[in-house]
Amino acid sequence: MTTPNPPTGILRDAVPVLPKGRVWGVRDYHTTLEQRAIAGATMNWGYVAMTVAAAVMATAGLLLNSPATVIGSMCVAPFIAPSRAVCIGALFRQSHVLFGGLVKQLIGILVISVSVASIITAVLHHTTTGITITPEILLRAMPTTRDVVLSALIALSAGAAASLALVTHPHIVETAWGQAVDAIIGVEIAISLVPPAAVIGIGLALGTPAYSRNALYLLLLNVVCLDLIGSSLILALWGVRRRHLDLEKSIRSAVAGTLGVVPGFISIGSTVHVTLLGNHEALVDVILRRQFGGEISGTLAANIAADIAAKTSCRSDVTVEVIPVLTHAGIPR
C-alpha cells in the first residue's frame, strides 16, 4: 500500500540525486555497520578457537622459517571483526563497542597468541633439537628502521582496505561477495598482528626478552596504525557519522509509534527499512504484519511520513506492505 501522492515530494520511480561525499542510498547502512561492530566486539569460543589455530600455525612457520606457513596462519586469523569494532565504535562514539573490540583484539594477540606460541616453543625446545631463532623471527624481533616503517605502512593500508570495502561498494556489505572480500582483507590485517604476537611468545620461551620486547613494540604500533589511523580515518573521510545512525534509529522509532496503534498489529516479523538519501531525506519501506481481517486506513503511509517529519524533520517517501496473518496461541504464557 502506498500513498498516491507522497507528502515528501520524492518520486519512487525517479532516480534521486544523492549528495556527494557520503554513503547514501543504501538500505539500513549505518545500522548494519553498528550491528557488525557489536558482533565484532563480542567474545565467543569460535574466535578463541580460530585464534589458537592461527597462533599454532604462525609459531610452526616462524620456527621452520617457512613464509608459506606464516601466510597460512594469516588466512585463519579472525582479527578483522574486532578491528572494525574499534574504528566503528570510535566514529559512532559508542565506548562499549570500541573498548569491547579493543579488549577482544588484545586478548587474541597478547594473551591467546602469545601464550600458545610460548607453550609450543617451550615444549619443542625441551623435547626436540633445532629449535632456535630463524630469519623469519628476527624480522619481527630485531626490525630495522626500514622494517618498522614498512610494517606500519602495511598496517595502514590493511586498515584502509578494510574500511574502503565498506564505503566504496556499500551495497555488497552483507552479500556473499562482500564476505569474500572481507576474508581477503582479513589476511592482510593478520599480517600485522599474528607473526609479531607469535614472536613475543617464542622470545619468552627461548629466554630472549629483548626479542619479545621489540616484537611487542612493533605489534602495538601496528594495532594503532591498523585500527585508528588506517580504518577510522577512511570511514571519517567518507562521512560515516553518529548523527546518520541516530537519524535511522529515530525514523524507525517514529514508525514504530505509528504502527503500534494499527488494529491487530503484530510486532514479530514486522520490519522497517530506512534508506537515507541525505541529511533530511529518506526512503522508508515498512512490512506490516497484522491479524487477518478488518480494514487499514488508506492514509497509513501518509500518517507515517507525517510522524517522521514531526519527530525528525526528515522528508520521507513511505511504502507500506501489509501482510494479513492468522495466528493461534497454543502455548501457555
Q: Verify that 196 and 317 share a domain, yes or no.
A: no
Residue 17: predicted pLDDT: 62
pLDDT value at 11 more than 60: no
Q: Which of 62, 76, 69, 59 is nearest to 120 (CA)?
A: 59
pLDDT value at position 10? 43
Last residue of a domain, one of 192, 215, 238: 238
Spatial contact of 148 and 218, defined as CB atoms under 8 Å apart = yes
pLDDT digits (tens, 9 = 90+) for 178-188: 666 777 788 87
Question: Which of 238, 267, 293 is a domain's end point?
Answer: 238
What is the spatial distance between Cα 14 and Cα 282, in angstroms, rounded to a whole number?
Answer: 14
- Contact criterion met (CB below 8 Å) for 234 and 227: no
Range with lowest mean pLDDT among 4-13, 19-28, 41-50, 113-122: 4-13
Query: Is there a single domain that holds both residue 217 and residue 283?
Result: no
3-state secondary structure 190-249: HHHHHHHHHHHHHHHHCCCHHHHHHHHHHHHHHHHHHHHHHHHHHHHHCCCCHHHHHHHH
The domain of 137 spans: 30-238
Q: What pLDDT is recorded for position 22?
A: 72
What mean pLDDT value characterizes the chain? 88
In this structure, the answer to whether residues 218 and 256 fall within a common structural domain is no
pLDDT at 5: 42
Which of 320, 333, 318 lies closest to 270 in space, CA to CA? 320
Per DSSP, 23 falls in state: -
d(CA 60, CA 55): 9
Please tell me the total count of domains within the chain: 2
CB-CB contact of 222 with 193 (8 Å): yes
pTM: 0.85
Contacts for 223 with CB less than 8 Å, ≥ 6 apart? 105, 106, 109, 155, 192, 193
Longest dimension (CA), the chain: 82
Higher pLDDT, 296 or 116: 116
pLDDT tens-digit readout, 52-94: 999 999 999 999 999 999 988 988 999 999 999 999 999 999 9
Dist CA 159 CA 149 (whole Å): 15
Report if residue 5 sits inside a domain: no
Which of 238, 272, 307 terminates a domain? The answer is 238
Give residue 171's pLDDT band: very low, low, confident or very high (50, 70, 90). confident
The sheet with strand 315-325 has its strands ordered as: 265-278, 281-291, 315-325
Residue 177 shares a structural domain with residue 196: yes
Sign of CA dihedral 244, 245, 251, 254: negative
Give me the CATH number covering residue 276.
Answer: 3.30.70.1350
Same domain for 120 and 251, yes or no, is no
